[in-house]
Amino acid sequence: MASTADIAIPQSAEDITPSWVQQVLQKDLPGVTITEVQVNGKISEGEGFLSDVIAFDAVGTRDGTSQRYSLVAKLTNFAKPWTVMEQWSKDIQIKAETTEVNFYLKVVPELLSVAAPGTEEKSKNGNKDDENRPHGDSLFLPKCYFAATDPSSMLSVRVMENLKARGFSIKPKGQPLSREETMLAAGALAQLHGLSHRLEHRSGKPLDENCDGIVSLSGASAVMDAVTFKCLTNVKDFAAAFPDQTDLVARLEKLRAPIIGPEDPRIRVICHSECWINNIMFKHAGDVPIAARLVDWQTPYYLPPSSDLAFLLVCNTGWDVFHNHRDDILAHYHHVLQETLGPNESLGLQSYTLDQLKEDFKADCLYGVFQRFIRLPILPLDSGLVRMLKEIQEWGVI
């Protein structure tokens, strides 16, 4: 990733010039010369609530051959409202944007440094675009070439590979994930969790104390009251839609932002913490999903891994996947987690059994339910949700 020294933070698409892009790419692609930049415009809403995501192609040469790089620049836009929660302040937005910059700038290189052979993506079928991508690409998030924040204006930028140009897309709003898509997303989370646990084992310190790009629980306290208010407001909409569910509504009215405190003895890892449809991009071969990437890293938390899985299934799946395929998805996650950890028996998560994972998942569904209700206006409100909530109620969680 490029150094922030002497590289300006663009104010708009007009600042994305050939000379600027060349500076951004040179560390990962030494010898590259960019002669032309073609700005393709903003990527649609849903792939950047807080930022303008501007797609562009950079054309030039490297090692005497013509090259073309499909990229996006993610730029801070303080005039852009967050549609999920109106109480989102400029200070909180700055915190989220700088957190993502620090995550790409500091945490991701550390995660990749502990990746075992086989966790890096290899070029396939001689694809020239893949060959242009430097080694060290993670399987669970897009390649980031440059990330920085201007201390004076607090504007941030992240320059990343354009996943859309590589065939990735998000699901249309309101459409739940299929079994196969949920499997892929769970596998991506397993890679994140496994690498973060390996990193913590190597450093010997809790990652929330050692990494600037990880949000601590205290750092989240500023929005707890606001998100609880939003959640309870949406419970009223649920009650109006299902007037016969008085007992369930009474339980949901007691929801508060769950905080996993220091007294919780469970192992913690870096969690994406917002693993829902707007932040997951899938690639398909025909109708078959074959790869997933996690995007929007503005709130990576240090939590038990099952909190991410509860978020994933409660917020993104329908009744059939949640009820009938949950065990298969958790088993797949557990398998990928163990593969990512490797055979080192001294790693704590190495002894984390599938049965323990299932129990932790059930307990953390409170977190998933809370997150689902924050987003209720843009996620399905149907009888399948009622059945899901009733099953979670049977577990004694709500």
Q: What is the pLDDT of residues 141-181, one digit of tens each?
A: 999 999 999 999 999 999 999 999 999 999 887 789 999 99
CATH number of residue 276's parent domain: 3.90.1200
Co-location of 180 and 82 in the same domain: no
Q: Which of 85-94, 100-109, 237-246, 372-381 has the lowest average pLDDT?
A: 85-94
Co-location of 210 and 283 in the same domain: yes
**CB 176, CB 380: distance < 8 Å:** yes
List, in sequence order, every residue forming a beta bridge with 282; answer none if it has no partner.
169, 292
List, in sequence order, every residue forming a beta bridge with 280; answer none if it has no partner.
294
Classify 261 as helix, strand or coil.
coil
Domain assignment of residue 220, yes or no: yes
Amino acid 80: pLDDT = 66
Co-location of 181 and 118 in the same domain: no
Amino acid 122: pLDDT = 41
**In a 10 Å sphere around its CB, with 0-12 CB exposed, 13-18 middle and 19+ buried, how is residue 269 labelled?**
buried
Q: Which of 166, 199, 221 is the last residue in one of the domains?
A: 166
Amino acid 89: pLDDT = 75
Most confident of 29-43, 48-62, 114-128: 29-43
Please state, in angstroms and rounded to a whole number, the distance separating the CA atoms of residues 82 and 73: 19
Q: What percent of the chain has pLDDT over 70?
A: 87
How many domains does the structure of the chain reveal? 2
Co-location of 184 and 53 in the same domain: no
At 346, the pLDDT band (50, 70, 90 cuts) reads confident
Q: Is it the case that residue 51 has pLDDT exceeding 50?
A: yes
Please state, in angstroms and rounded to a whole number, the distance separating the CA atoms of residues 190 and 197: 10
Amino acid 208: pLDDT = 82
Q: If we measure between CA atoms, which residue out of 192, 16, 10, 217 comes closest to residue 112? A: 192
**CB 65, CB 131: distance < 8 Å:** no
Placement of tokens 């393709």 in the chain: 40
Amino acid 270: pLDDT = 96
**CB 116, CB 340: distance < 8 Å:** yes
Amino acid 380: pLDDT = 82
Total length of the chain: 398
End-to-end CA distance of the chain: 44
Amino acid 155: pLDDT = 93
Co-location of 208 and 355 in the same domain: yes
Domain assignment of residue 5, yes or no: no
Q: Is it the case that residue 79 has pLDDT exceeding 60?
A: yes
Q: Which domain holds residue 191?
A: 168-394
At 379, the pLDDT band (50, 70, 90 cuts) reads confident
**CB 296, CB 276: distance < 8 Å:** no
Q: If we measure between CA atoms, which residue out of 306, 328, 329 comes closest to residue 395? A: 306
Amino acid 124: pLDDT = 38
Write down the pTM of the prediction. 0.91
Q: Is it the case that residue 352 has pLDDT exceeding 60?
A: yes
**CB 140, CB 186: distance < 8 Å:** no
Amino acid 217: pLDDT = 58
Q: Is it the case that residue 49 has pLDDT exceeding 70?
A: no
Domain assignment of residue 6, yes or no: no
Classify 288 as helix, strand or coil.
strand
Amino acid 125: pLDDT = 37
Amino acid 98: pLDDT = 94
> In the structure encoding, which two tokens stand for residue 126, read together?
């001689």
Q: Is it the case that residue 389 has pLDDT exceeding 70?
A: yes
Please state, in angstroms and rounded to a whole number, the distance separating the CA atoms of residues 108 and 141: 9
Tens digit of each residue's pLDDT (9 = 90 or more) over 194-206: 999 999 999 888 8
Please state, in angstroms and rounded to a whole number, the distance separating the CA atoms of residues 396 and 387: 15
* Span 325-333, average pLDDT: 98
Amino acid at residue number 257: A
Please state, in angstroms and rounded to a whole number, the distance separating the CA atoms of residues 219 and 243: 37
Amino acid 117: pLDDT = 62
Dihedral sign, Cα of residue 187, residue 192, residue 198, residue 201 = negative
Tens digit of each residue's pLDDT (9 = 90 or more) over 262-319: 788 899 999 999 999 989 999 999 999 999 999 999 999 999 999 999 999 999 999 9
Q: Which of 166, 201, 220 is the last residue in one of the domains?
A: 166
Cα distances (angstroms) measured from residue 221 to each of 224, 367, 373:
5, 15, 19
Helix 383-394 × helix 354-374 angle, to 10°: 130
Domain assignment of residue 147, yes or no: yes
At 216, the pLDDT band (50, 70, 90 cuts) reads low
Co-location of 162 and 180 in the same domain: no
Co-location of 343 and 266 in the same domain: yes
Amino acid 3: pLDDT = 62
